[in-house]
Structure 1
């Protein structure tokens, strides 16, 4: 997607065939089960299925052109890597053009290979970058907890799973209950991440934004950064 031109409602533009647009979005959503490189762009276009305009159709066609140019790009799963569980969490801030909600992005790796990912618009309007990142971290933590419980059935205990976050304030809120007086505006249901941290089911670790692979799922990126993050999560030409 174009980094400088976010998709807008564009009420005065020409309408396009709703059934055509929705069928294209449906096909792309099916493909995101194996091609997370298009996940953010598809989710952004999917928000305009009620009254799609020409600009939205052009954005969807641009995704198809990208796929035509990269038909063999896929996830690579080699067996020679340590068997551990780790996750990355990220969020933009008020990136949705319609309602100014933020987008949650998360990636979970097993044996250093990507097994699960999320790109979803948050249900609340975040009042700060820290709140948006904290909500995203709680969402990522929920997926990590599910994977931990599933792996227990196979005899693997992934206690103290690493969750990498690029926001220092979010890490401070998770680690220090004193910050609660400053975070009362954040819904209680997002604070369960603190309980898991105290039980040592997870640990939160600071990571530089440039190396946070979940950034791929929260915003439109320039070509060089997009390619770097795609390679970091194991997307190669197969």
Structure 2
């Protein structure tokens, strides 16, 4: 490429679009701790009390039409910032995507849920992805679904991840396009296909 384009060596890559890269003989570590601190400071949460989880286990997010309306611009800005953080933080992807679904009609309860994520980030600022230099290539895939977990439209939210040995390389959190009928025996062919696909991911034949 140096023959075709004018290039200059800037040294070993350590920072790219908010993503911090630390390289060593043992492997590569990716994180967004600097960006995470900037988010906490931007939304005045740098001195908040840290939370151990990004959301409560018994929490259910609803439309909450009777709730108090909050600043739409501020709430959407927070969601956008959190979505970019999922580039290296799959542990917050589910709740961030859940908050993003209701950002068009933001209520105080929705904003509190998003701030709970910031409290979790306060205590996990330096969490990231580790890729060891010497690890066997054994691809494993996992999948799970909450099966009609959304009470508004009875749609499922599924999540998948893939790891060659112990290094996470891809992850996904997606809401189903079709709702699940109240009686499972009446599942359509497309719903059955989703279940079969999930089972195949959980038990890879490699």
Asked if Structure 1 and Structure 2 have the same fold, meaning a TM-score greater than 0.5 normalized by the shorter chain, the answer is yes
Q: Does residue 1:58 correspond to 2:112, yes or no?
A: yes
Which of 161, 168, 191 pairs up with 1:114? 168
| Count of residue pairs the alignment pairs up | 147
Question: Which residue of structure 1 aligns with residue 76 of structure 2?
Answer: 22
TM-score (normalised: structure 2): 0.64
* Distance of 1:58 and 1:133 partners within structure 2: 36
TM-score (normalised: structure 1): 0.56
Q: What secondary structure is seen at the aligned counterpart in 2 of 1:40?
A: helix
Structure number with higher helix proportion: 1
Structure number with higher strand proportion: 2
Q: Does residue 1:203 correspond to 2:205, yes or no?
A: yes
Which of 112, 137, 160 pairs up with 1:83? 137
* Distance of 2:103 and 2:121 partners within structure 1: 21
Q: Does residue 1:10 correspond to 2:10, yes or no?
A: no
* Distance of 2:103 and 2:69 partners within structure 1: 11
User: Residues 8-36 of structure 1, C-alpha deviation per residue, up to 9 Å, x if partnerless?
Assistant: 11111110111111111000000001000
Question: Which residue of structure 2 aligns with residue 32 of structure 1?
Answer: 86
State the shift of 1:50 in Å: 1.1
* Distance of 2:87 and 2:117 partners within structure 1: 15
State the shift of 1:203 in Å: 2.8
Q: What secondary structure is seen at the aligned counterpart in 2 of 1:103?
A: strand
Q: What secondary structure is seen at the aligned counterpart in 1 of 2:132?
A: coil
* Distance of 1:13 and 1:38 partners within structure 2: 25
State the shift of 1:78 in Å: 1.2
Q: What secondary structure is seen at the aligned counterpart in 1 of 2:70?
A: coil
**CA distance change for structure 1 residues 74 and 31 in 2, over 3 Å: closer, same or farther?**
same
Question: Which residue of structure 1 aligns with residue 10 of structure 2?
Answer: none
Q: What secondary structure is seen at the aligned counterpart in 2 of 1:105?
A: strand
Which of 156, 160, 164 pairs up with 2:202? 164
Q: What secondary structure is seen at the aligned counterpart in 2 of 1:71?
A: coil
Give the aligned CA root-mean-square deviation in angstroms. Answer: 2.5
1:89–1:136 CA contact under 8 A, matched in 2: no
1:18–1:52 CA contact under 8 A, matched in 2: yes
1:15–1:54 CA contact under 8 A, matched in 2: yes
Larger Rg: 2
* Distance of 1:74 and 1:12 partners within structure 2: 38
Instruction: Give the gaps of 5 or more residues in structure 1.
Output: 142-161, 166-201, 205-238
State the shift of 1:137 in Å: 5.5
Higher relative contact order (CA 8 A, sep 6+): 1
* Distance of 2:172 and 2:104 partners within structure 1: 23
